[in-house]
């Protein structure tokens, strides 16, 4: 088990290295000069050249990359060209907001997908199964930005039940915070709920046809006990891995959702940095997200090994 953990940690290094190269290269290939962004188009060439030298932009790309990576390994992701704040400080300040949104979206997806997927898997081809399938296919096909617009129109503009946009910290007002988070969480978690519904249904269908389920029924156990004690426990093991893989989708979806609902998280931060060509901020956020998602998937893989003893025995 320890050998497996070390091997996974070692494999993360080249992935992070590759991500850092890709984001650094792409950001520097985007047209435009950060020095002009900071000084304005009316700035003289002498001031622009001086600022480029101060920022290290006059050096070759390989030299800039090595310098940036060496600092990033030590926890220094540079300073924002736009605001001159430390990138890591800006990320840590916005991370709780995005984390709150991501956890709310995951909770919504679980609350919807778990009962719908279980019922659809236990009673295939029933009316509930058909309705669950329609919901899942519709949720997968509908873009998150379109779902967000529909939710705003219906629940905010038409019914007036929920606020259109904005963010309230749970520490300030828990009730208002929850009201502001409902629509963003449903928007971000809608596609996840649809995907998880199909995944749980397929997993339940597979488990319900196993021999130990037939044996449990032959012993006279009630159907609800067979599902709850024997089927559900084994069917949900792969779902843990699926939730870990969806963290990357959550961060990607947060870019759109935070922009639609004016939530001050990492999504809005990186969108603003891209438009301002604030490449230290973009590089830092992407690298931070990559490391975070890799670590989350690493922890999920370890948890999966503990949940399924067969995985431990095979390693």
Q: Considering the entire predicted model, what is its pTM?
A: 0.80
Q: How far apart are CA 232 and CA 222, in angstroms?
A: 14
pLDDT tens readout for residues 125-139: 788 878 878 877 877
Does residue 67 surpass a pLDDT of 60? yes
pLDDT tens readout for residues 29-59: 766 666 666 666 677 777 777 877 776 777 7
280 C-beta neighbours (distance < 10 Å), count: 20
* Burial grade of 174 (CB within 10 A; 0-12, 13-18, 19 or more): exposed
Which residues are 86's β-sheet partners? 79
pLDDT tens readout for residues 141-195: 788 778 888 888 888 888 888 888 888 888 888 888 899 999 999 998 888 888 8
Residue 79 DSSP label: B
Computed over every residue of the chain, the mean pLDDT equals 80
159 C-beta neighbours (distance < 10 Å), count: 9
Does residue 310 surpass a pLDDT of 70? no
**Residue 6: which residues within 8 A CB-CB, separation 6 or more?**
none
pLDDT tens readout for residues 213-232: 777 777 777 777 777 766 77
| pLDDT at position 313 | 47
**Residue 220: which residues within 8 A CB-CB, separation 6 or more?**
none
Backbone angles phi, psi at 86, to 5 degrees: -65, 135
Q: Tokens for 65?
A: 């990359």
Q: How far apart are CA 11 and CA 62, in angstroms?
A: 24
| pLDDT at position 307 | 62
Cβ contact 265:98 at 8 Å: yes
Cβ contact 89:96 at 8 Å: no
Does residue 314 surpass a pLDDT of 60? no
Residue 227 DSSP label: I
Which CATH superfamily groups domain 99-313? MetI-like (1.10.3720.10)
Q: Among candidates 103, 139, 113, which has minimal Cα distance to 200?
A: 113
Q: Which residues of 68-84 are buried (b: 16+ CB within 10 A; e: fewer)?
A: bbeebeeeebbbbbbee
Q: How far apart are CA 95 and CA 78, in angstroms?
A: 17
- Residue 42: how many CA atoms within 13 Å on its side-chain side? 0
Q: Tokens for 166?
A: 């904005």
Q: Which residue has the tokens 């991370």?
A: 95
Chain center to CA of 26: 22
Task: List, by residue range, all CATH 1.10.3720.10 domains of the chain.
Answer: 99-313
**Residue 253: which residues within 8 A CB-CB, separation 6 or more?**
105, 144, 188, 191
């Amino acid at each position: 088990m320890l050998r497996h953990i070390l091997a996974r940690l070692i494999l993360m290094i080249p992935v992070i290295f590759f991500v850092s190269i890709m984001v650094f290269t792409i950001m520097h290939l985007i047209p435009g000069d950060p020095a002009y962004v900071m000084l304005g188009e009316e700035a003289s060439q002498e001031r622009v050249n001086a600022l480029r030298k101060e920022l290290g932009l006059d050096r070759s790309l390989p030299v800039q990359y090595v310098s940036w990576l060496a600092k990033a390994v030590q926890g220094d992701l540079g300073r924002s060209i736009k605001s001159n704040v430390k990138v890591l400080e800006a990320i840590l300040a916005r991370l709780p907001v995005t984390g709150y949104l991501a956890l709310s979206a995951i909770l919504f997806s679980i609350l919807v997908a778990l009962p719908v997927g279980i019922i659809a898997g236990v009673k295939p081809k029933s009316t509930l199964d058909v309705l669950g399938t329609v919901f899942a296919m519709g949720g997968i096909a509908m873009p998150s930005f379109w779902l967000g617009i529909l939710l705003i129109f219906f629940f905010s503009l038409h019914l007036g039940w929920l606020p259109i946009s904005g963010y309230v910290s749970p520490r300030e007002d828990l009730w208002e915070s929850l009201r502001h988070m409902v629509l963003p969480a449903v928007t971000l978690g809608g596609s996840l709920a649809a995907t998880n519904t199909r995944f749980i249904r397929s997993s339940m269908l597979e488990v319900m046809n196993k021999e130990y389920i037939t044996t449990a029924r032959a012993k006279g156990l009630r159907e609800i006990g067979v599902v709850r004690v024997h089927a559900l426990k084994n069917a949900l093991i792969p779902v843990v891995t699926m939730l870990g893989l969806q963290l990357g989708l959550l961060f990607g979806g947060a870019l759109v959702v935070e922009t639609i609902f004016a939530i001050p998280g990492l999504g809005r931060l990186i969108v603003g940095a891209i438009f301002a060509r604030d490449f230290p901020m973009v590089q830092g956020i992407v690298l931070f997200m990559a490391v975070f998602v890799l670590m989350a998937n690493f922890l999920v893989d370890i948890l999966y090994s503990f949940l399924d003893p067969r995985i431990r025995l095979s390693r």
